[in-house]
Amino acid sequence: MTVLLPTESPQPDATQQGAAIPTTNAKLLKFVEEMAARCTPSRVVWANGSAAEYDELCHLMVQTGTFIKLDEAKRPNSYFCRSDPADVARVEQSTFICSERRSDAGPTNNWAEPAEMKDKLAKLFAGCMKGRTMYVIPYSMGPIGSPIAKIGVEVTDSPYVVVNMHIMTRVGTKVLEVLGNSEDFVRGLHSVGAPLDETAADVPWPCNAEHKYICHFPETREIQSFGSGYGGNALLGKKCHALRIASVQARDEGWLAEHMLILKLTSPQGVVKYIAAAFPSACGKTNLAMMEPTLLGWKVETIGDDIAWMKFGADGQLYAINPEAGFFGVAPGTSMKSNPNAMRTITQGAIFTNCAITSDGDVWWEDMTKPAPDHLIDWTRRYWTHKSKRKAAHPNARFTVPAKQCPVIAAEWEDPRGVPISAILFGGRRACVVPLANEALSWQHGTFLGSIMASETTAAAAGKVGALRRDPMAMLPFCGYHMGDYFAHWLKIGKDAPKLEKLPRIFYVNWFRKNAEGKFLWPGYGENGRVLKWVFERVCKPASDTALAVKTAIGYLPKPEAIDRSGLSIDDKNMKELLKVDVEGWLAEIPSIKEHYAKFGDRLPQGLTDELESLEHRLKSNS
């Protein structure tokens, strides 16, 4: 750490304060100087990304009551913490896209006029770090020096943010060396919004319950976040930079920044294909990224579980990197049944937030083990037993852990060139209508399928489907500009691809089909590898090949015999139900899609309107 000692008016000036600042980048130095002058911290610390720095900050938070060190024998080098109950998740209602024109934010984002919002934030940030340390975190999203990677700098007064950014990004002086004197970096300012005077006692989780703002300024590549210390509100490299700002950069520069996992799929013959996939929440995204296939000889390895940045290579192929260096996973529901590799990843070197803690110094959450422990201290610091009616862990409890610890992390996960993507999967939680697997007829048709993605907000029961929430490409909360323009960008990527034949094929999958009794027709988990096998085999052949698929009104559906059912007890009747074209169901959904599209007005690309009209025509021709 480079530490600047306290002064009456902290300034990041090495001459005045006797400390060597690890950069000469004029834009960066001016940014830090201005933020220090505005926020008035007691001292300024430049993070260097070292293990010693991480350990020092964790020890500091143990001393201040933010962290509890877990039992070293049970979970080495791991820590537990609880947030304030008023600060437990993303605050979408307080998240703004501050584009210069209101229309550029689109109907799915909250918009604020940039100058007005900056004026409001300037007043909140004034003196907000009094009594605290300002940490300067230079970070790289993606392998340092990768042509697909981007650099950011986050200024924060939260040591919790620093250690989590250590895990989730590449932090430190090496980043500054790559940045050099370039002005191409994202500027992030974050504060918990809880200044301390000389006599005030601190709290384990400082935040500002009254004022929370997460603001993005896409034209100037800035992020300002005030009041929350939790997750994506505070770890500005994650959703703020990697999706909301990066999606705008990707539009401007001709690439894709997507809310997608990346996996490596290897056949028994050793042939490798890389697949990206986008799913809304509660659809098993992380589980798929780390899946253990049940089919003999097939292997899934992880490149990333949440975000993919994709750019065309010199050979015309779309290459993807995982811009993150860690996993920030939802803990409840994670178990040896649902995701054994995630459980193996978090055996050491992890940070657990808002879980329950056991009497012997370990963590627990719902569905982690059955039965539950006899007694725990829950995330609200209350005594808990298996008879308690409330949850022991918060539903959004999280673990933060380095990706390199994952036992199925792919060897090339940090390859700066990225990995070549052969297929893109879209999907959602649907009890009916959407089949188990479906390949798009074209890139434009695949963009259409992604644009109408939906999941049920309530469970289906006795054939009654819950309300649908459309989440296009799983980007609804994360697209940094008008989503109609985002769809147009996807279509442009397909149209302008250097080699159209090398574009990834697009598929739509649904593991969640149910029968009339409300029971799942497909077993899911490791059995989803059977669908991946079909995807693998399809991308190895031309789309027009009829050996494994049949062309239908909604796309290329697997022939029933094309899904490998060896060792699986699914009869022909259920398989037929999983793979049928529900003409009536799709026709009934057309009005909902039109209503969804109407939100985007004249910015909805004509190509998607054409696809909807073509779908309706094909369905009626087959009814």
Active site residues: 283
Tokens of 598: 């109407």
DSSP string for residues in 440-503:
-SSHHHHHHHHHT-EEESS--BTTBPPPEEE-GGG-TTT-SS-HHHHHHHHHHHHHH-S-GGGS
Task: Report in angstroms the alpha-carbon separations of 308 from 43, 247, 564.
Answer: 36, 11, 29
Structure tokens at 128: 């907000």
Write the single-letter amino acid at 448: F
- Measured between alpha carbons, how far is residue 512 from residues 335, 415, 432, 519 in Å? 19, 34, 8, 9
Whole-angstrom distance, CA of residue 78 vs CA of residue 224: 30
Nearest to 250 by CA among 305, 322, 308, 302: 308
Query: Which letter does DSSP use for residue 409 in this model?
Result: B
Beta carbons within 8 Å of 162's beta carbon, 6+ residues apart:
47, 57, 135, 137, 156
Instruction: State whether residue 529 is helix, strand or coil.
Output: helix
* CA-to-CA separations, 354 to 413, 573, 589, in angstroms, rounded: 29, 44, 39
Cβ(226)–Cβ(191) under 8 Å?
yes
Task: Determine which helix (DSSP H) or strand (DSSP E) holds 115, and give its type and residue range.
Answer: helix 114-125
Token pair of 475 as six digits? 């980007």
CA distance 110 to 90: 14
Indicate the residue type of 271.
V
Dist CA 484 CA 226 (whole Å): 29
Return the beta strands (E) in 370-453 as ranges.
375-377, 383-385, 398-402, 419-427, 437-439
Q: Which residues are 270's β-sheet partners?
A: none
Q: What is the amino acid identity at position 177?
A: E
Please name the helix (run of DSSP H) or strand (run of DSSP E) that holds residue 118, with its range, or none.
helix 114-125
Q: In what order do the strands lie in the sheet with 363-364?
A: 363-364, 356-358, 375-377, 383-385
Which H or E run includes 134? strand 133-141
Residues 188 and 171: beta-carbon distance below 8 Å: no
Half-sphere exposure of 217 (CA within 13 A, CB side): 17
Determine the length of the chain.
Answer: 623
